[in-house]
A = this chain, B = another copy of it.
Amino acid sequence: MTDVQSNHESGKAPLLSEATLFRMSRYLNVLEEFMQGGVERVSTRKLADLLNVNPAVVKQDFLPLNVRGQTGVGYAVPELLTAIREVFLARSPFHFAIVGFGNIGQALANYISFERQGFKLRAIFDINPKLHNYSVRGVPVFDIDKIPIMCRECCVEIGVICTPASTAQEIANLLVAGDVRGIWNFAPTELIVPSEVILVHEHLTRGLLTLSYHIGQRHDMERTCQEYSSLSENK
């Protein structure tokens, strides 16, 4: 689950809402799968069904892309994919760095899908000296005091914080000193960063919390139905 903290003013490109942006990233996944499977055309309805949204929403989302679908034939998959990639990755590859080489940091460092999408891991940082001889696919692990200099040297635009909550603010400050433009925060804490730095929160517990909330809701609903039917039976 992601929360974006960004005070936008109107720029040159069309500004998409967070909800549209979320759907765009799902279209991207679906279209990449279609490409790999050799699917050449896709209809609005097919995409709407896959994402469980109204076809009118899909049509609305594609308006700023300047890609034309043909009635009865749909969109050309490669053209649509290129247009959506352009939305996200106009200036790719994006360089990123991971701070904190625990479970989450290691999982992200080994997540090769990032590279396919246009993101290049340039550096890893950890406080533990035992990890400083380690590297992941040629990317070395440095001490955290190297964050500002290495981020500037490797043109790191996005810093990913995978440390405990207690050190996350200190790490955010070091990343800001390293001139990163965005921070992706996995630490379960709020952070204070300058307004020009974009902050995306990714708290893993929220996925489970969202599910438990919805499951609880369903449970309540079922109980109401049962109570209602037992009331009816007793009449």
7 interchain residue pairs of minimum CB distance: A11-B221, A1-B2, A103-B107, A12-B220, A182-B211, A107-B107, A25-B206
| A21 in the interface (beta carbon within 8 A) | yes
Determine whether the beta carbon of A218 is less than 8 Å from that of B181. yes
A204 in complex: contacting residue of B15, B111, B165, B216, CB < 8 Å: B111
Q: Mark A102-131, 1 if CB is under 8 A from B, else 0.
A: 011011101101100111000000000000
**A202-B207 contact given A22-B1, A188-B29, CB 8 Å threshold:** yes
Q: How far is the CB of A114 from chain B (nearest CB, A)?
A: 6
**A12-B211 contact given A1-B22, A190-B30, A201-B26, CB 8 Å threshold:** no
Residues on the B chain within 8 Å of A201, using CB? 26
A184 in complex: contacting residue of B88, B107, B211, CB < 8 Å: B211
| A75 in the interface (beta carbon within 8 A) | no
Please choose the segment from A57-65, A89-97, A139-147 that sits at the chain B interface, where 4 or more of its residues have CB less than 8 A away: A89-97
A92 to B13, CA, bound (A): 45
A15 to B118, CA, bound (A): 38
Q: A33-B189, A89-B212 are in contact. List 10 more A-B contacts (CB 8 A).
A: A5-B52, A11-B224, A12-B220, A26-B201, A28-B209, A94-B212, A106-B107, A113-B204, A119-B212, A184-B207
